[in-house]
Structure 1
Amino acid sequence: MRERSCLSIILAAGEGTRMKSDLPKVLHPVAGLPLAAHVLGAARAAGSGALALVVGHGAETVSETLKTHAAGCRTFVQAERLGTAHAVLAARDAIADGFDDILVMFGDTPLIEAEALAEARQGLADGAAVVVMGFRTDKPAGYGRLVEQGGELVAIREDRDCSAAERAITFCNGGLMAIDGARALALLEAVGNDNAKGEYYLTDIVEIARAQGLRVVAAEVAFENVLGINNRAELAEAEAIWQTRRRRRMLLDGVSMTAPETVFFAHDTAIGRDTAIEPHVVFGPGVQIGDRVRVRGFSHIEGATIADGAEVGPFARLRPGADLAEGAKVGNFCEVKAAEIGPGAKVNHLTYIGDATIGARANIGAGTITCNYNGFTKDRTEIGAEAFIGSNSSLVAPVSIGAGAYVASGSVIVADVPDDALAFGRAPQTVKEGRASKLKARYQAEKDRRAAEKAARNQAATG
């Protein structure tokens, strides 16, 4: 059987004034990904081979941003906002290319799942001309009701227009639709604007289709699939739902979390089996983690790759470009950025490693800093296999520490250290015997003098 072709039209022209933001509403993020990009991704996953984005407010910004998330997506501008049917017809040229299925979605519904869209498409495959996606709620007030008879949808009735019997209906309109591609243009062009607002409503095609003897059905989905975002509170609600979904997916895929509700993922976080994540861990975009990794509490990881058996944290920060090899360890209060940590290497305590390569089984002592930035440019530090860097050392890039080399604690290293060499980079220690008590006495006298002056000032102020 021939695979059905599909065009997804994503309506993203709304101003989103209730977001109270200079950023167009559909570009606000959930899990680090713009709202509309979630919708585009679901459309692709549901088998949509073509995408059309209808933009209005912030058209150029929206188009440029979303272009990186949906290659080949065509953009259409809705110059005037005259209703949802009018918005869909802005993509007339794409519809006219001819598709079996047309999906109509909104750019502010980031929780739509590919499975729900596939179910709507199946309704078209089964002979319906229009499939309306709806949800059930015990609080239907304010929502349009889906009025069914004999297994078909006969009308979408707005709350204010419902009869007493219709007001009791708990099956409500979710707004998203699937339309038979062969009939889509004719149905959309038949929509009129004889209403109080003078707008062209997409929901009118239900009765138009039925008047033509066509079959219209409703597909039931969970409410969160059609949850639209209109303000920051709803954005936070969507984020919470998305995180709950992803945590469950991770757990079922073999990732352990002792307190899942405290762990936050990005849209593209990838984690292998038998990896354990302790409480209060945040993953930014671009993180890939292998098997049997341990991520300890209060760590923040973004743009990093962590190989099998590595360990991170607690209180670690991995920034973009951090690459931990198998069995590597980055410990507490450490920061790693644009650096490769070799197999079995250890960066255990209070250390900054930036723009560097750390060789296999090297040990980086507490308080070590790679001084990679001179205020203008950044340079690299190369540390060989099995090198030992003593605590509180500063490695001034560009610099190379050879394999098996040993850097004494407290050193400032400004020149390359050969393999198997011992490097001291600190000033000679000076000892003045019997001077400690004199120094303490001097400091105590200064402290007493300041206290006396303060007391005198207070006494003068109080008369």
Structure 2
Amino acid sequence: MTEPVAAIILAAGKGTRMKSDLHKVLHPIAGRPMLLHLIAAVDTLAPARTVVVTGAASAQVEAAVAPLGVATALQAEQLGTGHAVQQAQNALAGFDGDVLILYGDVPLVSPETMRAMLDRLQSDDAPATVVLGFRPADPGAYGRVIADRDGRIVKMVEFKDASPEERAETLCNSGLMAVRARDLFALLARVGNENAAGEYYLPDIVMLAAADGRASAVIETDAHEVAGVNSRAELAAVEHAWQQRRRAAAMADGATLIAPETVWFAYDTAIGRDVTIEPNVVFGRGVSVAGKAVIHAFSHLEGATVGEGASVGPYARLRPGAVLGKGARAGNFVEMKQAVLGAGAKANHLTYLGDAEVGAGANIGAGTITCNYDGFFKYRTKIGDGAFIGSNSALVAPVAIGAGAIVGAGSVVTRDVEAEALAVARGEQQQKSGWAGRFRERMKARKAAK
């Protein structure tokens, strides 16, 4: 029978190397705070409880996780990882199951790896703890894991306290662990701080269990999965690694990326089959692109829905609430917000559509804008099926253009236009023969006289 699962996520240190007023674990990767990446992964395991241990800037972290129903526990003094985990004891009172110990600044641990740790904990040899290890290109100052061929841990040691022979080991401790709740806090109560930093180290529970005759086990994962973020440079590196994997996944699922390294996805971007994405496209949060659509170069999309076979850009900006119907086209330097472009409708050039509904097959001429804001309130524009809006028109909302109507170029439309009508709203053109020539002669004479 599968044991119930709880997660303790350590997020007490603010991260001074980030040099930021924002807590380290709230800096985004692919448009989502790194802590919320981790919580989302944990949620796939259907945990009975999740506890985030806070410390510096605790109010920021608490505000971020409160909408998710995640509990928090305060570590008022940062006295080491063992001490941090102890702060979650009250929040886990009465819980009898397996506990995952994770780090808020190690955001990309997969649910599969978490499940592998729990499965190893429940294996026949019943290890006291399970440690997640990895082999980085540069082991640096990571704590080392000394294990036998079967993955049973002989010794774990912090780099500061390791001998030269132990520092030569390449298997490093990620800090992530799985422990039975009934063992965890009993072992932590025995951890001391007689070490170079004077801190209470979580890994010490491994050797305490060993002293009781209970072995622990290590399983390994790729280094990229346990990459931590302590600086802006490391944040960028983790973002880069995330994007590389997401681009590969998009192409494996049937999308064409002309220059993959220039496309940036958000954590929730949904891309259909046979979509083509040209270079230098950025997806913000909340974008869905249906099959056979084309996203041309240098376009930015956020909170937008792109229908099947639609075309976006180049140099288009789709803001939240933008919807393109099947086969619709939003072309170069077109911006949309809270606007629907119906099936087959097109706005090919230099257009702003805000708070608008454009019917199927309508044509929006270059330079058209929907004037949706009066400085205080927003208003909607409705353009009927098959309507034609001439270039450089301003549609002053609230206003409705009927199906099949034509608005003459350069018009400022302030009243509704009935279906199939022609609306022209501009000053009458006048012509004064010879005026231009006489004007130039006068100006030349005036300039010569100076």
Report if aligned partners of 2:274, 2:293 keep a CA contact under 8 Å in 1.
Answer: yes
| Counterpart for residue 459 of structure 1 | none
Deviation at 1:149, TM superposition (A): 2.9
Q: Residue 111 of structure 1 corresponds to which residue in structure 2?
A: 108
Q: Secondary structure at the match of 1:361?
A: coil
Tell me how far 1:446 sits from its aligned partner: 6.2
Q: Report the alpha carbon displacement of residue 448 of structure 1 after superposing the two structures with TM.
A: 6.2
Cα 1:345–1:448 change in 2 (3 A) is: farther
* Superposition deviation, residue 342 in structure 1: 0.8
Q: CA deviation at 1:114?
A: 1.5
Aligned to 1:406: 406
In structure 1, the residue corresponding to 2:203 is in which secondary structure? helix
Deviations 1:384-403 (A, max 9, x none): 11111001100001111011
- Equivalent position of 1:457 in the other structure: none
CA shift for structure 1 position 165: 2.6
- Structure 1: unaligned runs, 5 residues or longer: 453-463
TM-score, normalised to structure 2's length?
Answer: 0.96
1:73 alignment counterpart: 70
- 1:31 maps onto 2:38 in alignment: no
What displacement does 1:427 show?
0.5
Partner of 1:456: none
**Aligned equivalent of 2:357:** 357
Query: Using the alignment, how far apart are the partners of 2:446 and 2:91 within structure 1?
Result: 83
Q: Secondary structure at the match of 1:79?
A: coil
Amino acid at match of 2:11: A
Shift of 1:435: 1.0
Residue in structure 1 matched with residue 251 of structure 2 by the alignment: 251
What is aligned with 1:130? 129
CA distance in 1, matches of 2:21, 2:112: 33
Would the aligned equivalents of 1:367 and 1:392 in 2 still touch at CA under 8 Å?
yes
Q: Does 1:217 align with 2:212?
A: no
Residue aligned with 1:367, SS? coil
Change (3 A) 1:336 1:445: farther
Q: What is the one-letter code of the residue matched to 1:406?
A: I
C-alpha change, 1:186 and 1:447, in structure 2 (3 Å) is farther
CA contact (8 A) 2:45 2:111 kept: yes
Separation in structure 1 between the aligned mates of residue 404 and residue 3 of structure 2, nearest angstrom = 63
- C-alpha displacement at 1:141, in angstroms? 3.0
CA–CA distance in structure 2, aligned partners of residues 432 and 407 of structure 1: 27
Kept after mapping to 2: 8 A contact 1:7/1:99: no
- Residue 202 of structure 1 aligns with which residue? 202
Distance in 1 separating the partners of 2:229 and 2:407: 56
- What is the one-letter code of the residue matched to 2:97? D
What's the RMSD between the two structures over aligned residues? 1.5
Letter in 2 for 1:135: F
- Relative to structure 1, the CA distance from residue 407 to residue 198 in structure 2 (aligned partners, 3 Å threshold; closer, same or farther) is same
Conserved? CA contact 1:342–1:360, under 8 Å: yes
Change (3 A) 1:443 1:112: farther
Secondary structure at the counterpart of residue 182 of structure 2: coil
**Aligned positions of 1:4-83 closer than 5 A:** 4-68=3-67, 71-83=68-80
Indicate which of 87, 93, 96 corresponds to 1:96.
93
Q: 1:448 to 1:24 in 2, by over 3 A?
A: farther
2:235 counterpart SS class:
helix
* Partners of 2:73 and 2:91 within 8 A in 1: no
Alignment partner of 1:284 is 2:284: yes
C-alpha offsets along residues 62-83 of structure 1, whole Å, 9 cap, x if unaligned?
Answer: 1112334xx2211111111111
Larger deviation: 184-193 or 297-306?
A: 184-193
- Secondary structure at 1:202 match in 2: coil
Deviation at 1:194, TM superposition (A): 2.5
Distance 1:103 1:38 in 2: 16
Matched residue, 2:148: 149
Q: How far off its partner does 1:100 sit?
A: 2.2
For residues 197 and 441 of structure 1, do their structure 2 counterparts lie closer, same or farther at Cα, with a shift above 3 Å needed?
same
* C-alpha distance in 1 between matches for 2:439 and 2:231: 63
Distance in structure 2 (CA, Å) of the matches to 1:226 and 1:447? 75
Q: Secondary structure in 2 aligned to 1:320?
A: coil
| Matched residue count | 447
SS in 2 for 1:183: helix
Distance 1:446 1:65 in 2: 70
Contact 2:287 2:305 in 1 (8 A): yes
Secondary structure at the aligned position of 2:239 is classed as helix
Aligned residue for 1:76, secondary structure, equals strand
C-alpha distance after superposition, 1:134-182 (max 9, x if no partner)? 1113432322110113521122122233333322211111111111223
| Amino acid in the other structure paired with 1:377 | F
SS at match of 1:360: coil
Aligned-pair distance for 1:292? 1.0
Q: Which amino acid aligns with 1:53?
A: V
CA distance in 1, matches of 2:273, 2:250: 9
Q: Distance in 1 between matches of 2:158 and 2:212?
A: 22
**Partner residue in 1 for 2:383:** 383
Deviation, 1:445, is 5.3
Contact in 2 for aligned 1:284/1:301 (Cα 8 Å)? yes
In structure 2, the partner of 1:239 is 239
1:364 Cα offset (Å): 0.4
User: Residue 160 of structure 2 contacts residue 196 of structure 2 at CA under 8 Å; is this kept in 1?
Assistant: no
Contact 2:276 2:294 in 1 (8 A): yes
The change in CA–CA distance for 1:272 and 1:393 in structure 2 (over 3 A counts) is same
Worse overlay, 77-86 or 192-201: 192-201
Change (3 A) 1:28 1:256: same
Residues in 2 aligned to 1:229 and 1:446: alpha-carbon distance in whole angstroms: 70
Identity of paired residues, percent?
51
User: What whole-Å deviation, never above 9, does each CA across 1:266-313 have from its counterpart, x for those lacking one?
Assistant: 111111111110000000011111111110000000011111111101
Hey, what's the Cα distance between the residues in 2 that align with 1:41 and 1:157? 31
Conserved? CA contact 1:372–1:396, under 8 Å: yes
- Give the Cα separation in 2 of the matches to 1:189 and 1:199: 14
**1:11, 1:105 within 8 Å by CA — same for their partners in 2?**
yes
Distance 1:445 1:413, change over 3 A: farther
Change (3 A) 1:390 1:447: farther
Deviation at 1:444, TM superposition (A): 4.6
Q: Whole-Å Cα distance in 1 between the matches of residues 92 and 435 of structure 2? A: 89
Q: 1:282 touches 1:299 (CA, 8 Å); kept in 2? A: yes
Structure 2: which amino acid aligns with 1:107?
Answer: G
Cα distance change, pair 67–442 in 1 and its aligned pair in 2 (3 A): farther
What amino acid sits opposite 1:23 in the alignment?
L
Partner of 1:182, secondary structure, is: helix
